[in-house]
């Protein structure tokens, strides 16, 4: 059973009676965390890779955000300076087209590289699709961010009725900006080695014997 640790963030004013404005949620299993308004509530997840789904008080807009995590080991080891390029390859338009296949009548309105989610580069998309809500079908518009980091694709998706989407834009971006996940890479450059493939072979013998070298291609 997933263990949830919930902390409350307080904003203090001159009045000593502080009021909780945001909930900071973290998951001990994945290390994911993010914050959302304390008026929102946690609801049941809809997909196996959903980590958390939250919604504001009921309303016609049917706004919601969900945080997802799925294994994706396409790019595991590379120099840090290639991070932006890896993001462009891993979270491309094709990625978003495949992702949106799980929705009904999806339409990509726009996507871009060079965004951010948690600790790494991210791709972002704005899309429209049809959704089933209690009693009717609804055309929704959503924004999603995806970041491939240390073998896991982290995805934050927020949506609302297409006519109300703009009014939820700022809360959605606030939630996206709060996402964090466990640090795996150091900020300094990694993966820079001497061109050893062009150098001599190095042979290791049994303990106590000297190592010998031979020119590349030699025996």
pLDDT of 214 over the 80 cut: no
Q: Comparing C-alpha atoms, which of 214, 197, 196 is closest to residue 205?
A: 214
Residue 132: strand pairing partners: 137
Question: Phi and psi at residue 84, in whole multiples of 5°?
Answer: -65, -40
- Measured distance CA(136)–CA(141) in Å, rounded: 16
Encode pLDDT of 51-85 as tens digits: 899 999 867 789 999 999 888 777 666 666 777 77
Domains and CATH numbers, the chain: 45-214 (3.40.1000.10)
**What does the angle CA 10 – CA 44 – CA 18 come to, to the nearest 5 degrees?**
10
Encode pLDDT of 36-54 as tens digits: 999 999 999 888 889 899 9
Give per-residue burial for 171-190: e unless 16+ CB within 10 Å, then b: bbeebbebbbbeeeeeeeee
**Mean pLDDT (the chain, rounded):** 76
- Measured distance CA(21)–CA(147) in Å, rounded: 27
Report how far Cα 6 is from the mean position of its chain's Cα atoms. 20
> What mean pLDDT do residues 26-42 have?
86
Identify which has the larger pLDDT, 170 or 182.
170
Encode pLDDT of 104-114 as tens digits: 999 999 988 87
Residue 195: strand, helix, or coil: coil
């Amino acid at each position: 059973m997933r263990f949830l640790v919930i902390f409350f963030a307080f904003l203090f004013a001159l009045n000593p009676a502080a009021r909780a404005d945001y909930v900071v949620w973290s998951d001990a299993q994945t290390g994911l965390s993010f914050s959302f308004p304390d008026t929102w509530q946690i609801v049941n997840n809809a997909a196996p890779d959903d980590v958390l789904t939250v919604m504001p008080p009921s309303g016609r807009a049917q706004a919601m955000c969900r945080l997802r995590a799925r294994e994706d080991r396409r790019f595991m080891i590379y120099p840090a300076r290639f991070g932006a390029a890896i993001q462009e390859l891993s979270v491309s338009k094709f990625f978003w087209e495949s992702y949106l296949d799980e929705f009904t009548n999806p339409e990509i309105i726009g996507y871009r590289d060079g965004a951010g989610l948690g600790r790494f580069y991210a791709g972002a998309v704005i899309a429209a699709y049809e959704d089933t809500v209690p009693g009717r079908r609804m055309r929704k518009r959503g924004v999603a961010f995806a970041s491939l980091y240390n073998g896991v694709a982290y995805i934050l998706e927020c949506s609302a009725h297409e006519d109300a989407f703009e009014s939820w834009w700022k809360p959605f971006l606030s939630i996206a900006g709060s996402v964090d996940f466990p640090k795996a890479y150091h900020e300094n450059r990694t993966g820079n080695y001497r061109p050893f493939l062009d150098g001599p072979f190095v042979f290791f013998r049994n303990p106590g014997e000297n190592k010998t070298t031979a020119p590349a291609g030699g025996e």
